[in-house]
Amino acid sequence: MTALAALTGHYLRTSFANRFAIVFGAIQPLFYLVIFGPLFSRSGVGSWDTLVPGLLVQLALMSSGLVGFGVVFDQRFGVLERLRVTPAARSTLLLGRVLKDSVVLLIQAAGIIVLGYAFGMRAEPVGVVLGLLLITVLSIGMAALSYAAALTIRMELFAPVMSTLVIPLMLLSGALLPMSLAPAWLDVVSRFTPFRYAVEALRALFAGPPTSPTVLWGVLVTLVFVAVGFTIGTKVYQRENT
Amino acid sequence: MIHVRGLTRSFGAVEAVRGVDIDVSKGEIVGFVGPNGAGKTTTLRMLTTLLRPTSGTATVADCDLFTDPAGVRRRIGYVAQGGTVGPFSGVGEELVLQARLYGLSRSEARERVTRLLEELDLAGGEKRTAGQLSGGQKRRVDIAMGLLHRPELLFLDEPTTGLDPQSRTNLWGHVRRLRAESGMTVFLTTHYLEEADALCDRILIIDDGTIVASGTPAELKAAHDAGTLDEVFLAVTGRELREGAAA
The 10s digit of each residue's pLDDT in B82-111 is 888 888 888 999 999 999 999 999 999 999
Q: What is the pLDDT of residue A193?
A: 93
The CATH code of the domain that includes B203 is 3.40.50.300
Q: Which of A14, A73, A83 sits opposite B101 (nearest CB)?
A: A83
Chains A, B: CB contacts under 8 A, how many? 71
The mean pLDDT value for B143-151 works out to: 91
Which residue(s) pair with B188 in the sheet?
B31, B156
Q: What is the pLDDT of residue B246?
A: 42
Q: Is residue B108 part of a domain?
A: yes
* Phi, psi (deg, nearest 5) at residue A208: -165, -155
Between β-strands B2-11 and B14-24, what pairing exists: parallel, antiparallel or unpaired? Answer: antiparallel
The mean pLDDT value for B26-39 works out to: 90
Indicate if the pLDDT at residue B169 is higher than 90. no
CA dist list (Å): A44 to A11, A41, A75: 43, 7, 49
Minimal Cα–Cα distance from A206 to chain B, Å? 40
Q: How many structural domains is chain B composed of?
A: 1
Report the predicted TM-score, pTM, of the whole model to 2 decimal places: 0.88
Q: Is residue B246 part of a domain?
A: no
More confident residue, A21 or A241: A21
Q: Is residue B94 part of a domain?
A: yes
Q: Which of A10, A85, A87 sits opposite B97 (nearest CB)?
A: A10
Q: What's the mean pLDDT when you consider all of chain B?
A: 89
Neighbours of B8 (CB within 10 A): 19
ipTM score of complex: 0.88
Please give the residue range of the domain that contains residue B17: 2-237
Indicate if the pLDDT at residue A76 is higher than 80. yes
Q: What is the pLDDT of residue B8?
A: 93
Indicate if the pLDDT at residue B244 is higher than 50. no
CA dist list (Å): A77 to A28, A72, B142: 30, 9, 11
Contacts of B89 (CB under 8 A, 6+ apart): A14, B129, B130
Would you list the domain boundaries of chain A?
2-238
Indicate if the pLDDT at residue A43 is higher than 80. yes
pLDDT in tens, A115-150: 999 999 999 899 999 999 999 999 999 999 999 999
Q: What is the pLDDT of residue B245?
A: 45
User: CA-nearest residue of chain A to B16?
Assistant: A242
Contacts of B85 in chain A (CB under 8 A): 77-79
Report residue A242's pLDDT band, with 50, 70 and 90 as the boundaries. Answer: low
Report residue A189's pLDDT band, with 50, 70 and 90 as the boundaries. Answer: very high
Q: What is the pLDDT of residue A237?
A: 86
Rounded CA separation A11/A225 (Å)? 24
Q: Tell if the CB–CB gap between A73 and B97 is shorter than 8 Å.
A: no
Q: Tell if the CB–CB gap between A87 and B50 is shorter than 8 Å.
A: no
User: CA-nearest residue of chain A to B70?
Assistant: A87
The mean pLDDT value for A83-99 works out to: 92
Minimal Cα–Cα distance from B132 to chain A, Å? 15
